[in-house]
Structure 1
Amino acid sequence: MTKTLILKYDGSVFRPEEPVDLSPETRVRAVIEPVERTPGRPGGFLRTTSSLNIDGPPDWSRRLEDYLYGSAEDAA
């Protein structure tokens, strides 16, 4: 099986940017060919987060800590 993957080097190991269909500890041969980095677009983070279909209550941002840790009202 031959497959081309994009890997990111974190200073110690190469990590694939997408899932790989291999068992753990499988040995593979890698040929290193640097890929040009594509510059991120301004506002990319906001565009990405707004595209996520996250479900939550309407007051989630205002009461985040209540939802994470429970509110004083819940303890009473």
Structure 2
Amino acid sequence: MSTVVTVIFDGQVFRPEVPLDLEPNRRYRVTIEPAPAPNTATDAWDLLADLAGTIEAPPDWSSEHDHYLYGTPKRHLESQS
């Protein structure tokens, strides 16, 4: 079983951000990787802007999403648009 825990390194010791239920004096394997920076959003709109992404998509993406996602025939012919 593995558990992911965020820790802070104070220069000598790793300190977990939450209490851990670990057996004392037992060896554990630790993998070190930088954690993402904490979100600095000041309000809900900033948070949504940080989470939202953009992709390049055809102009009729919203009206023809079934066509692009599942391959169904387009509902409207491009000549009628």
When normalised by structure 1's length, the TM-score is 0.46
Larger radius of gyration: 2
When normalised by structure 2's length, the TM-score is 0.43
